[in-house]
Amino acid sequence: GNSVTQMEGPVTLSEEAFLTINCTYTATGYPSLFWYVQYPGEGLQLLLKATKADDKGSNKGFEATYRKETTSFHLEKGSVQVSDSAVYFCALSSGDSNYQLIWGAGTKLIIKP
């Protein structure tokens, strides 16, 4: 079945460091891929998405490229800030007839000043 695997956290970085959070997936067909972010005490919110192979999603300095050959959708940011501290979830949607999202376990990111 469809699944999403994320790197385990917490990931702890210093401010201005480069960030990579790995996400790989297993899916049939051509899923859409998403990164959601959850700030402390809040619900999840969409950070970026990509709907087909080689698409790059970007938002707030974060980027992720849909790599079908490696079944990956890694999240990157060139210079993180303390305000980026949150939990990041990778997710996929399996197709047009199913509006559910398959979620990764989430990766907690801690940025130290």
Partner 1 sequence: DAGVIQSPRHEVTEMGQEVTLRCKPISGHNSLFWYRQTMMRGLELLIYFNNNVPIDDSGMPEDRFSAKMPNASFSTLKIQPSEPRDSAVYFCASSRTSGAKNIQYFGAGTRLSVL
User: What phi and psi, each to the nearest 5 degrees, are found at residue 39?
Assistant: -80, 155
Q: Which is nearer to partner 1, 19 or 50 (CB)?
A: 50
Amino acid identity, residue 85?
Answer: S
How many Å apart are CA 113 and CA 111, to the nearest integer? 7
- Of residues 66, 73, 88, 89, which one binds partner 1 by CB under 8 A? 89
Using CB under 8 A as the binding rule, the residues of this chain from 25 to 44 that contact partner 1 are 32, 34, 41-44
- Read off the tokens for 96: 């047009």
DSSP of 42-68: S-EEEEEEE-STT-EEEETTEEEE-BT
Q: Which is nearer to partner 1, 25 or 34 (CB)?
A: 34
Instruction: Please tell me whether residue 82 binds partner 1 under the rule CB under 8 A.
Output: no
Q: Which stretch binds partner 1 (CB under 8 A): 12-20, 61-69, 70-78, 94-102?
A: 94-102
Residues engaged in binding partner 1 (CB under 8 A):
32, 34, 41-46, 49, 89, 93, 96, 99-101, 103, 105-106
